[in-house]
């Protein structure tokens, strides 16, 4: 079974953020990820990681003002200075938290600039971020997002994102493949993962519809997670889903995957 990391932005949301680390460790996770750690002091998060024996494998670059509707600013021509400041802040946190890879959200395309200007801005911002991260041995990840949940999001397909990374031309820039988002936009999950495996550094999961735990929707995770083993995926899989109830009550899918006598069942 692939290595699974609990996304503590979405999982265990029945308790405050800093209390979620201990709960993830209690339930057998050895690693965690989060979307945006910046509302908390990095030293407090580090203390939670150490106390729980957990590794933080990923967090995002700051994405602008989320409450005001921002979903990333990397494609915004008028916010380049803000983006570069965000890269510096993300690196400050990564140094304390030990994250080896940071994810960049391109953002919703603003009205006004041409597509050529948006793409040029995004390429140059990603080159800057990749150089800053590469100097410290970190990977830069770029994630396409479905446009049903985030209308107007600039990057919304795996091939589109890989073409962008080709233009960036940085050896430490990788695709982050979110199974839920790409099921909604593309389908063909197994074939796409296999085809692009050499360029995927991180995977995230949730079922569809609803973005809930595996086994609640249409995606055959009993097959797909074992398929990742067969094709040799070595990275982490972030469990970035919205629990239907208390997180621990919905972990039957994980218990089933650990039972070799029930290989096709995600809900014992």
Q: What positions carry a catalytic annotation?
A: 143, 240
| CA neighbor of 182 nearest in space, from 205, 215, 163 | 205
* Tally of CB atoms within 10 A around 27: 15
Question: What is the rounded CA–CA span in Å between residue 100 and residue 263?
Answer: 32
Count CA within 13 A, CB hemisphere, residue 129: 37
Q: How far is the C-alpha of 264 from the C-alpha of 256, rounded, in Å?
A: 9
Alpha helices by DSSP H, listed for 169-259, are: 179-185, 189-196, 221-230, 252-257
Q: What is the chain's alpha carbon radius of gyration, rounded to the nearest angstrom?
A: 18
Strands (E), the chain: 3-7, 31-33, 55-60, 101-104, 139-142, 173-178, 200-205, 236-239
Three-class secondary structure of residue 236 per DSSP? strand
163's CB contacts (< 8 A; 6+ apart) are none
Q: What is the DSSP letter of 66?
A: G
> Are 205 and 221 spatial neighbours (Cβ–Cβ below 8 Å)?
yes
């Amino acid at each position: 079974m692939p290595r699974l990391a609990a996304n503590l932005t979405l999982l265990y949301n029945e308790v405050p953020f800093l209390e979620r680390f201990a709960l993830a460790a209690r339930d057998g996770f050895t690693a965690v990820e989060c979307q945006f750690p910046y509302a908390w002091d990095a030293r407090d998060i580090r203390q939670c990681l150490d106390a729980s024996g957990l590794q933080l494998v990923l967090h995002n670059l700051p994405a602008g003002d989320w409450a005001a509707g921002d979903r990333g600013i990397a494609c915004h021509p008028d916010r380049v200075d803000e983006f570069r400041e965000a890269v510096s802040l993300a690196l400050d946190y990564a140094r304390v938290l030990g994250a080896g890879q940071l994810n960049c959200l391109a953002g919703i395309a603003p009205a006004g600039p041409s597509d050529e200007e948006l793409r040029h801005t995004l390429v140059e911002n990603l080159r800057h971020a990749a150089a800053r991260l590469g100097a410290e041995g970190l990977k830069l990840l770029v994630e396409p997002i479905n446009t049903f949940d985030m209308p107007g999001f600039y990057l919304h397909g795996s091939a589109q994102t890989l073409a962008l990374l080709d233009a960036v031309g940085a050896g430490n820039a990788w695709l982050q493949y979110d199974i839920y988002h790409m099921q909604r936009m593309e389908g063909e999950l197994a074939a796409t993962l296999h085809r692009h495996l050499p360029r995927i550094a991180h995977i995230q999961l949730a079922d569809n519809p609803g973005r809930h735990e595996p086994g609640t929707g249409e995606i055959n995770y009993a097959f797909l997670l074992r398929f990742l083993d067969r094709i040799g995926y070595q990275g982490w899989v972030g469990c970035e889903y919205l629990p239907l109830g208390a997180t621990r009550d919905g972990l039957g899918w994980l218990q089933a995957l650990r039972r070799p006598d029930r290989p096709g069942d995600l809900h014992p």
